[in-house]
Amino acid sequence: MQVADNVLQLAFQDMLTGLPNRRVLIDRVNQARVASKRSELYASLLLLDLDNFKPLNDTYGHAAGDLLLIEVARRLQQCVRETDLVVRFGGDEFVVLLTALSRHQGDAAELADAVAKKIAHALKQPYLLEVQDELRQSSTVEHHCTASIGIALFVNEAACHDEILKWADAAMYRAKKAGKNRIQLHDSAALFPGEKED
């Protein structure tokens, strides 16, 4: 029985962070599409990529990077409702699925942007990571990291999960290209700056 449970865990959970994985995300996005057809309420997908992850890995090793990802996952879960979904998408990318936002596109965009700003603020707080050197000596590393966030809104079943993910991904890359630590709404000229780095 335990072997079967472990197989199920591997199939649906990211082993590092304990978050649901991409397979769960696709299922939940499809459920959200069906639910929004009935309710006419917009949902939103936020795709975020950490801006300052590689230097940490390069300087202190993958163990330090893993500690950062675990802490990012914890902070993300604290920023959303219980009904929302936080997923580790791969590497240093995470996805947040927000459901039942509003019947009005503008209001839904404002709600999604408010969550994205809350996430950006939480993720830019300093990270204190306990790392070990080759001699197994522990030390605390303070790391600063921001996120580039792309937002895609969807309602009804007009777009499939692949299209919605592509929208969020394109918006995230626009946010990164605009200088990182930014929030970009798909298909909009509006670029929401995150709080400026000190």
* CA proximity to 41, closest of 95, 86, 107, 85: 107
Cα–Cα dist 101/111, whole Å: 7
Query: Is 187 an annotated catalytic residue?
Result: no
CA 59, 62, 66: angle at the middle one, nearest 5? 120
| Spatial contact of 185 and 148, defined as CB atoms under 8 Å apart | no
Catalytic position from the list 92, 162, 169, 187: 92
Which sequence positions are flagged as catalytic? 92
